[in-house]
Structure 1
Amino acid sequence: MIVNENNMKNEDYLEEVEEVYEEKINQKGKVAKVGFWSFVSMIFMTCYGLSNGQQVYYQMGYASITYVIIGVVLFFIPYTFIVSEMSSAFHNEKGGIFSWMKNSVGLRFSTIGAFIWYISGVIWWFSISSICITLSTMIFGKDESETWHIFGLSNTGTTAIIGIIWFLIIVFFCRRGIKSISKLANISMLVTILMHIIILGGGLFVFFMNGAHFQQPFHYTGIQSLFMGPNKAYDNVLAALGFLVFAIFALGGMEASGGLIDKVKNPKKNVPRAMIMSGIIIAILYISIIIISGMAMNWKETFSSSNVNLYNYSIYMVQQQFFEFGKCIGLSNAASVSLGEWVNRITTWITFIAMLNLPLMLYYPIKQMFEGMPKGMLPKFLTKENKYGMTANALYVQAAIIIGAMLLIGFGGNTANTVYNNLTYMVTISTSIPWAFIVFSYIKFKLNDDIKKEYQFFNKKWGVVVGSITFITLVFANGFSIVQPFLQHNYQQGIWIVSGPVIFGFLGWILAEVYLKRKEKNLIK
C-alpha cells in the first residue's frame, strides 16, 4: 500500500510540475492556451444549438425523441468517446483530425478525409447573408429582409453586402488567435444560458400555470406513433428514415473541438473530461427542449401557417409560446401577440450576441487543414503564423474565396442562386462523410499497439466493436442520404449530392499524390 500511495503521489506531483512548466512556457511564448471551462464552452457552442432541439420538434413532434435517442446511442455517445481517445493520444499534434487519420491509417487517407471536411466547411459560409433575417427580427420582431434595398441595389445584392460586412467582423476577431476566440466563446456561452432560461423557463411556466397540462398531448397509440409525428411531410417510412439521418447529423461536430487539443492546458486530462461532460449535457438538453416545447405549445396551432419553413420555425415557436404565456398572466389576445413579438426581438438580440462564437467556426477548418499537414505539402505562404499564433494568410485566402462567392450569389441573378443551391446539395453529405473516416481511423488506432494511448474509455476489443457499430451507422446514414433523392426521382439533386464527396475527395487525393511524388524525388526537405 505504501508503494502504491507513493506512486500516486509521484504521479500527482509530476502532473502538477507539467502544468506549471506548461504555464511558464505559455507565458514566455506568444501563443496562450485555454483552460478547462473555456474549452467546454468552445465544444458546447460548436456542437449544440437550442434551435436544433426546436427544429426536430417542428419536423417530427414528440416522435423526434425516438430518433434523437437512436442518434445518441448509436452515434453521439460512442463518437464522443472515440474523439476523446484519439485527441488525447495525439495531444501533441497540431493538425486535429488530419493528424489522427494520418497516424492511424496513412497520408492519402487523411488528406482525402480532411479535404472533404474542409471544403464543406468553407461552402457553409456562403450562406452568411442569412444574418439579414436575424437583423430584421431584432428590429421588427419578424422577417422583412426580403424588402430591403440599399443604394438602389437588388434585395439579393443588399443582403450580400450586409453579409460581407458581418463576415469581415468575424474575420477580424478570428485573426487574433485562440485566446481572443475563447473569450468570445465564453461570452456566447453565457448568453446561451440566458436564452435557455427565457425559452425553457417560459415553457415550464406556461405548463404549470395551465395545471401541468401539455399543450401538445402525448398520443402514443402504438409502435407507429413512436416514429411518425404530426408533420405530414414525414408520414411515410422513406421520409422517416430521412429524418433519422438528420437526427444523427444534428449531433455531429465534436471532432472540430478535438482539433484544438494543442491549444488546451493539460490536454491529457482536460480534453476527455470536457468532451464527455459536454456530450452528456447536450444529449439531455435536446430531449428536454422537445418535451418542454410540447408543454408550452400545440404543434398544429404553432405551425398551421403555410409560411412556416426550416428557416423561420423558431420565430413562430417563440411567438406561440409567449402568446400562451401572456394568456396565463391575464393579458388580452392583442397584448399576448405583442408580447410574443417583443420576446422574439429580445431572443433574436440574444441569438445575435451568441453569434460571437462564429470566429471559432471560421477557425476550425483552418486549424484542421493548414496547421497539421506535413511541411512542403502546402505553400509556406499559407502556413505562416502571425503574432497571435494564427495562420492568418490562410484565413485571408479562405475569406477572399467566401466573399467572392457571396458577391457572385448576390449579384449573379437566378443563375447564381441555382449554383448556390447545387453547392449546398454538394456539401450535404460531405460534412458527415469525414465522420466515417474518423471512426474507421479509430478502429485502426485501437488495433495498433505501437500508438501510445494516453486515455482509454474502451479496451481494445470493445473499442473495435463500438467503432464498427458506429461506422456501420454512419455508412447507412450517408448511404441513405445519397440514395433517397434517386428513390424520389430527384436525379439532379442526387447527382449533386454524389458529386460532392467524389470531387472533393479526388482533389484531396491529388494533393497527397503530388506531395508524395515531390518527396520521393527529394524536392521537399
Structure 2
Amino acid sequence: MKEKKLGLMSLILMIFTSVYGFNNIPRSYYLMGYAAIPWFVIAGILFFIPFAFMVAEFGSAFRNETGGMYSWMCKSVGPKYAFIGTFMWYTSYVLWMVNVSSGIWVPVSNVIFGKDTTATWSLFGSHFLSGSRLLGIMAVIFFIVITYFDSKGIDKISTVTSVGGTAVLTINIMVVIGSIIMIIARGGQLQQPFAGFESLKTPLNAAYQGSPIAILSFIVYALFAYGGIEAVGGLVDKTENPKKNFPKGIVIAALVIVVGYATLIMLVGSFTNYKQILGNDEITLGNVSYVIMSNFAAEIGKAFGATPATQLALAHGFARVYACIMLLALMGAMFTLVYSPLKQIIDGTPKELWPGKMGETAEGGMPKNAMWIQCTIVSVMILLISFGGDTMQQFFLILTAMVNVGMTVPYMFISFAFPKFKKMKDVDRSFVVFKSQASANIWGYVVTLTLLFANAFAIIQPALDGDVKTTFWSLSGPVIFGFVAWVIYTRYEKRILAQGDGVSGSSEEVSEEPVAQTE
C-alpha cells in the first residue's frame, strides 16, 4: 500500500504544532512587554529558518537511518561527539521535568482557588516547610508517583496530551477574537499604550531597562520558543514534492509562527496594563500566564459593562478553565517524557556503555533501572533548588533559566556539525537548500554563534545584577551533563579498546527519532 504523503498545508500544521507554544507569549510579555517582538523576529531569521533547513537536509540525507539526530552527528563528526550532543539533548528534558514537577502546583492552585496561592502554602503552619520548599517536597512526591506508574508500562494516560493540545489551540483563538472585540469596544484603545518604535525598543520590565546585556539575554527565551524543530527532519520524505513544498512549508510555517508570537504579544498588551497587573512581587514566571488569562476574562466583562463582582467571578472562573487545560497538557507530556527520551537513548546505544544495570530494559521495553536513577537525579535537583532560599519569584526564574539554556545548547551540536556534513561524499543530496559549501559554513556558524552568544548573555546577566545563584544553576546543567556524557563515553571507549573490539559508531545506536519539545 502506497504511503500517503503530506500536502503543503499538513506539513505547515505539523511544523506549527511541533514548535508553537502559547505559554511563551505571556512569559515574554512579562519579561519585556512589546519589546519582546523584535527579538522573536531576529531569532526567527538567525536561528529558526536556517536551522529548520539544516535538519531537513540531515533528515533527507539519512532518511534510512533510525538514529535521528544521533545518526546525523555520528556520521558527520563521530560517535563521541554525537553521544555527548544527544545526551545533552536528553538531559534538557531532565531539566524540563525539574521545572514542570515544581511548576505544576500553580495550575493545581488555580483549579482549586481560581488564583495562584502557592506562595502562602505551608505544612502544619511551619515557616520552614512553606513556599518554594514545600513545592519542592510535593514535586519530588509527584515525580516519584509518575515514575512508578511509567515503570509499570502504564503510558496510556499520555492521550490527555491531545485533549490539552486542542484546548490550548482554542485558548489562542479565544484570545485573538476576545482582544479584537475589546479593542473595538474601547474605540481602538489599548490598555498598555503602544508608542511605535519606542515601545519596541524599551522593555516594560524594570529589570531589563538600561541593561543591554539583560535585553540580549532575552533572545534565549525567543530561541526556546522555536524549540522542537529537530523533529521536522524526518518529514522531508513524507512530503509531496519535497524539493518544492518543504522549503515553502518551512518558510510559511516560520512566518506564521513569528507573526503569531508578535501578534499575540501585541494583543496581550491590548488588555493588560503592565504596571497595574504585572507590577508586583507576587507575579512569577510560574504564574504569570494564569494572571494574564484571569485578567483577559475580567477585561472582557469590563468591556461589556459587567460589575466588579462579575469581573472577579469571570477572572476566577477562566483561571480555573485555563489551569485545567494546562494541567491536562502538562500531565500528558510528563507521563510520556519521563520514559520516552530516556528509552530512546538507552535502546539505541550499546548496553555496555551504561554503568551497572542502567542499560537493561524490563518487560515491555521500559528501562526501569535508568528511570529510577533519573528519578533520583530529578528529585535531588528539585530539593537543591527549592531549599536554596530566596523568593518564589527567584525559584521559578532559576527553573525557567535552566530549561531555556539546557534545551538550546544541544542545538549548537547539530548546527556545528552541519558544515562537516556538507563535506561528506557519497551522501544522498536529493534535497538541498544550502547549494554551496560556503553557504553551509556561513549559516552553520551563524546559527551556532547565535545560540552561543544568546546563552552566554543569559548565563552572565543574572550574575552582573548580583544574582549569582541563577547564573550558577543555568550554567551547571549543560556543564555537569556534558561532563557526565564525556566520562560515560570515555569509560566505554577504554573498555572496548581493552577488549580489542574497537568502538562502534554505527548509525544503529539509536532506535527512534527524537521526540518534539514540549513547551
The two structures have a TM-score, normalised by structure 2, of 0.79
**How far apart in 2 are the matches of 1:359 and 1:456?**
37
| Residue range with higher mean Cα deviation, 98-107 or 512-521 | 512-521
- 1:443, distance to aligned residue in structure 2 (A): 1.8
Q: 1:344 to 1:489 in 2, by over 3 A?
A: closer
* Equivalent residue in structure 2 for 1:440, among 416, 419, 442: 416
The amino acid across from 1:229 in the alignment is: P
Kept in 2: contact 1:173–1:181 (CA 8 A): no
- 1:124, distance to aligned residue in structure 2 (A): 3.4
2:28 corresponding residue in structure 1: 56
1:297 aligns with 2:272: yes
- 1:517, distance to aligned residue in structure 2 (A): 2.1
2:206 corresponding residue in structure 1: 232
* Equivalent residue in structure 1 for 2:320, among 337, 342, 345: 345
Q: 1:520 to 1:482 in 2, by over 3 A?
A: same
Q: 1:459 to 1:363 in 2, by over 3 A?
A: farther
The one-character-per-residue Cα deviations of 1:131-177 (angstroms, maximum 9, x if unpaired) are: 22211111111122344456888346754564345435644775688
* Equivalent residue in structure 2 for 1:196, among 172, 193, 199: 172
- 1:404, distance to aligned residue in structure 2 (A): 5.5
The one-character-per-residue Cα deviations of 1:215-262 (angstroms, maximum 9, x if unpaired) are: 222202x5x54321322221122321122333223322333x369x5x
Kept in 2: contact 1:318–1:344 (CA 8 A): yes
**How far apart in 2 are the matches of 1:141 and 1:51?**
18
* Equivalent residue in structure 2 for 1:135, among 108, 121, 127: 108
1:465 corresponding residue in structure 2: 442
Matches within 5 A, 1:17-36: 17=2, 19=3
* Equivalent residue in structure 2 for 1:514, among 480, 491, 496: 491
- 1:480, distance to aligned residue in structure 2 (A): 2.4
2:183 corresponding residue in structure 1: 207
**How far apart in 2 are the matches of 1:185 and 1:320?**
26
The amino acid across from 1:478 in the alignment is: N
**How far apart in 1 are the matches of 2:476 and 2:58?**
30
- 1:422, distance to aligned residue in structure 2 (A): 8.0
Q: Secondary structure at the match of 2:45?
A: helix
1:112 corresponding residue in structure 2: 84
Kept in 2: contact 1:206–1:325 (CA 8 A): yes
Q: 1:245 to 1:164 in 2, by over 3 A?
A: closer
* Equivalent residue in structure 2 for 1:82, among 54, 63, 72: 54
The amino acid across from 1:432 in the alignment is: T
Q: Secondary structure at the match of 2:23?
A: helix
Kept in 1: contact 2:162–2:329 (CA 8 A): no
Q: Secondary structure at the match of 2:294?
A: helix
- 1:297, distance to aligned residue in structure 2 (A): 2.7
Q: 1:226 to 1:331 in 2, by over 3 A?
A: closer
Q: 1:266 to 1:135 in 2, by over 3 A?
A: same
The amino acid across from 1:234 in the alignment is: Y
Larger Rg: 1
The amino acid across from 2:289 in the alignment is: S
Count of equivalent residues = 489
1:145 corresponding residue in structure 2: 118
The amino acid across from 2:181 in the alignment is: F
The amino acid across from 2:46 in the alignment is: L
Q: 1:360 to 1:442 in 2, by over 3 A?
A: farther
The amino acid across from 2:106 in the alignment is: I
The one-character-per-residue Cα deviations of 1:30-64 (angstroms, maximum 9, x if unpaired) are: xxxx9999999887666432121111112222121
- 1:505, distance to aligned residue in structure 2 (A): 2.3
Q: 1:57 to 1:425 in 2, by over 3 A?
A: closer
Structure 1 gaps of 5+ residues are 1-15, 21-33
**How far apart in 2 are the matches of 1:365 and 1:270?**
31
1:378 aligns with 2:350: no
The amino acid across from 2:33 in the alignment is: G
1:484 corresponding residue in structure 2: 461
Q: Secondary structure at the match of 1:321?
A: helix
The one-character-per-residue Cα deviations of 1:441-460 (angstroms, maximum 9, x if unpaired) are: 12211221333345333324
- 1:440, distance to aligned residue in structure 2 (A): 0.5
Q: 1:481 to 1:158 in 2, by over 3 A?
A: closer
1:29 corresponding residue in structure 2: none
The two structures have a TM-score, normalised by structure 1, of 0.78
| Residue range with higher mean Cα deviation, 238-247 or 348-357 | 238-247
1:311 corresponding residue in structure 2: 286
Q: Secondary structure at the match of 1:325?
A: helix
2:517 corresponding residue in structure 1: none
**How far apart in 1 are the matches of 2:88 and 2:455?**
14
- 1:81, distance to aligned residue in structure 2 (A): 1.9
- 1:273, distance to aligned residue in structure 2 (A): 5.5
| Residue range with higher mean Cα deviation, 353-362 or 371-380 | 371-380
| Residue range with higher mean Cα deviation, 477-486 or 444-453 | 477-486
Q: 1:125 to 1:505 in 2, by over 3 A?
A: same
1:401 corresponding residue in structure 2: 377
Identity %: 34
The amino acid across from 1:287 in the alignment is: A
**How far apart in 2 are the matches of 1:173 and 1:91?**
34
Q: 1:430 to 1:309 in 2, by over 3 A?
A: closer
**How far apart in 1 are the matches of 2:499 and 2:38?**
56
**How far apart in 2 are the matches of 1:483 and 1:164?**
29
Q: 1:94 to 1:176 in 2, by over 3 A?
A: farther
**How far apart in 2 are the matches of 1:413 and 1:305?**
23
The amino acid across from 1:465 in the alignment is: I
1:24 corresponding residue in structure 2: none
1:431 aligns with 2:413: no
| Residue range with higher mean Cα deviation, 197-206 or 55-64 | 197-206
Kept in 2: contact 1:38–1:186 (CA 8 A): no
- 1:109, distance to aligned residue in structure 2 (A): 1.5
1:361 aligns with 2:337: yes
